[in-house]
Amino acid sequence: MYLPPRHSEIIQLAKENGRVLVEELSSHFGVTPQTIRKDLNDLCDRRLLSRIHGGALFPSGIENVQYEARRKIAADEKDAIGKAAAGLIPDNASLFVNIGTTTEAVSNALLDHKGLMVITNNINVANRMRVYPSIEVVIAGGVVRGSDGGIVGEAAVDFIRQFKVDYAVIGTSAIDPDGALLDYDFREVKVAQAILANARHVILVADSTKFERTAPVRIGHISQVNTFITDECAVDAVRKVCQDAEVQLIETRKLGSEAAS
Identify the domain boundary among 35, 60, 85.
60
Is 16 a member of any domain?
yes
Residue whose C-alpha is closest to residue 209's, from 183, 174, 182, 181: 174
Is 67 a member of any domain?
no
Residues 51 and 130 in one domain: no
Residues 54 and 78 in one domain: no
What total number of domains does the chain contain?
2
Count of CB atoms within 10 A of residue 153's CB? 19
Is 68 a member of any domain?
no
Is 66 a member of any domain?
no
Residues 251 and 137 in one domain: yes
* Residue 161 three-state SS: coil
Is 69 a member of any domain?
no
Residues 40 and 104 in one domain: no
Is 241 a member of any domain?
yes
CATH number for the domain spanning 48: value is 1.10.10.10
What is the reported pTM? Answer: 0.75
- CA 224 to chain CA centroid, Å, is 17
Residues 148 and 43 in one domain: no
Q: pLDDT tens, position by position, for the chain (261 residues)?
A: 568 899 989 988 887 777 889 999 999 999 999 999 999 999 888 878 887 888 888 754 444 555 666 666 778 899 999 999 999 999 999 999 998 899 999 999 999 999 999 999 999 999 999 999 999 999 999 888 877 888 988 999 999 999 999 999 999 999 999 999 999 888 888 999 999 999 999 999 999 989 988 888 899 999 999 999 999 999 999 999 999 999 999 999 887 666 554
Could you tell me if 209 and 172 are in contact, meaning their C-beta atoms sit under 8 angstroms apart?
no
Element (H, E) at 42: helix 33-45
Q: Tell me, what's the pLDDT at 256? A: 65
Q: Tell me, what's the pLDDT at 133? A: 93
Q: Tell me, what's the pLDDT at 52? A: 80
Give dist(CA 81, CA 208) in Å, integer: 11
Give dist(CA 251, CA 208) in Å, integer: 10
Q: Tell me, what's the pLDDT at 74? A: 76
Residues 99 and 195 in one domain: yes
Is 109 a member of any domain?
yes
Residues 34 and 92 in one domain: no
Q: Tell me, what's the pLDDT at 59? A: 59
Residue whose C-alpha is closest to residue 70's, from 171, 157, 186, 192: 171
Could you tell me if 19 and 55 are in contact, meaning their C-beta atoms sit under 8 angstroms apart?
yes
Q: Tell me, what's the pLDDT at 45? A: 84
Residue whose C-alpha is closest to residue 208's, from 49, 38, 76: 76
Q: Tell me, what's the pLDDT at 68? A: 62
Give dist(CA 55, CA 43) in Å, integer: 11
Could you tell me the residue range of the domain that residue 131 belongs to? 74-260
Q: Tell me, what's the pLDDT at 71? A: 65
Residues 43 and 150 in one domain: no
Residues 94 and 26 in one domain: no
Q: Tell me, what's the pLDDT at 90? A: 98
Residues 80 and 55 in one domain: no
